[in-house]
Amino acid sequence: MRIVISAGPTREPIDPVRFLSNRSTGRMGYALASAAVKRGWETILVSGPVALAAPEGLAGLVRVETAADMAEAMKREAQNADCIIMCAAVADYRPVKVAERKLKKSDGGMVLELEPTEDVLLSLGRIKRSGQLLVGFAAETDAVETYALDKLKRKNLDWIAANRVGVPGEGFESETNAVVLFSRRGEKIVLPLDSKEKIAGQILERILPDGRRQGDRL
Ligand code: CTP
């Protein structure tokens, strides 16, 4: 079983000292990677910049910074993965121009022009091999189920783990999480509030119930 998990935020540079990013700490993705290692799976972690120690026993750790780096690493690692979990909070937009020198302030305001980044999960859904399990996350403030099901379909996923953001105890910058899993076959599994480590174990248990033995290929 070879599993590739992405975690953490991306950083989109504005100039040599500034960037656009988000509140992801990487904790959920790192917990998933630890849980996968514990099951004896060959685990590759593709991580944006975070303040966490890498889980022991990884088969590979790829450190990335931008959404473009993340896209390149994930598409490469996906080639021989049995399961891919896209847990990273990839920036949806990046500055059109990256200033070579530090931008100096002036008296007036400032407009930053942004362009979309690659949707890595969408790309992975397009190149998905048969037998490969593709799992996404959906962070939503509202209409969680509607948006999650839309992403499941649109991105050609097998599972999506939906969680609310902006709610204390769930999602970004929290030690706990509550998740609802939806599958392409129509299953809906509620994982109530628990530590991200426990939630990670439950996610793997549900999406890969038969994938426990080392060396197994799906
Ligand atoms: N994702 C990705 N590449 C992006 C943006 C998101 O791979 N450029 C992935 C995330 O890793 C996650 C899933 O897409 O698994 C959903 O991310 P989310 O931010 O909830 O949704 P978006 O597709 O960005 O849609 P929106 O921001 O409109 O909710």
Taking only the tens place, the pLDDT of each residue in 76-128 is 999 999 999 999 999 999 999 999 999 999 889 999 999 999 999 999 999 99
Pocket of ligand 1 (CB under 6 A): 67, 86, 88, 90, 92, 117, 119-121, 136-139, 151
User: How many other C-beta atoms lie within 10 A of the C-beta of residue 61?
Assistant: 13
Question: Does the pLDDT of residue 75 top 50, yes or no?
Answer: yes
In sequence order, the 6+-apart residues with CB closer than 8 A to the CB of 114 are 20, 93, 94, 95, 96
Strands (E), 58-146: 60-63, 83-86, 93-95, 114-116, 133-140
For residue 215, pLDDT beyond 60: no
Which residue among 70, 92, 133 has the greatest number of ligand 1 atoms within 8 angstroms of its CB, and so is best to mutate?
A: 92
Which residues are CB-contacts of 159 (< 8 A; sequence separation ≥ 6)?
A: 133, 134, 135, 136, 152, 181, 182, 183, 184, 206, 207
Q: What is the mean pLDDT of the chain?
A: 94
Structure tokens at 150: 């839309």
Which of left, alpha, beta for 118 (phi over 0: left; psi -120 to 50: alpha)?
Answer: beta
- What's the pLDDT score for residue 217? 47
Reported as a single tens digit per residue, the pLDDT across 118-156 is: 999 999 999 999 999 999 999 998 999 999 999 999 999
Cα gap 121→42, rounded to integer Å: 21
Ligand 1 centroid – CA 212 distance (Å): 28
Beta bridge partners of 62: 46
**Is pLDDT at 71 greater than 50 in this prediction?**
yes
Better-scored residue on pLDDT, 175 or 11: 11
What is the rounded distance in angstroms from the CA atom of residue 170 to the CA atom of residue 51? 19
Sign of CA dihedral 69, 196, 92, 124: positive
Q: What are phi and psi of 15, to 5 degrees?
A: -150, -175
pLDDT at 211 over 80: no
Return the pLDDT at 135.
98
Cβ-Cβ contacts under 8 Å for 13 (sequence gap 6 or more): 19, 66, 94, 95, 98
Over residues 21-41, the pLDDT tens digits come to: 999 999 999 999 999 999 999
- Match 């849980």 to its residue by tokens: 35
Q: For the whole model, what pTM was predicted?
A: 0.95
Ligand 1 geometric centre to CA of 215 (Å): 31
Separation of 89 CA from ligand 1 center, angstroms? 7
Q: Is the pLDDT of residue 216 over 70?
A: no
For the residues 177-199, what does the mean pLDDT come to?
95
Name the pLDDT band for 208 (thresholds 50, 70, 90): very high
Percentage of the chain with pLDDT > 70? 97
**pLDDT reported for residue 169:** 82
The per-residue pLDDT for 70 is 98
Percentage of the chain lying above the pLDDT 90 cut: 86
Q: What pLDDT is attached to residue 25? A: 95
CA nearest neighbour of 38 among 214, 215, 217 = 214
Pocket test for ligand 1, best of 4, 90, 137, 154 (most atoms within 8 A of CB): 90
Superfamily of domain 2-96+114-207: CoaB-like (3.40.50.10300)
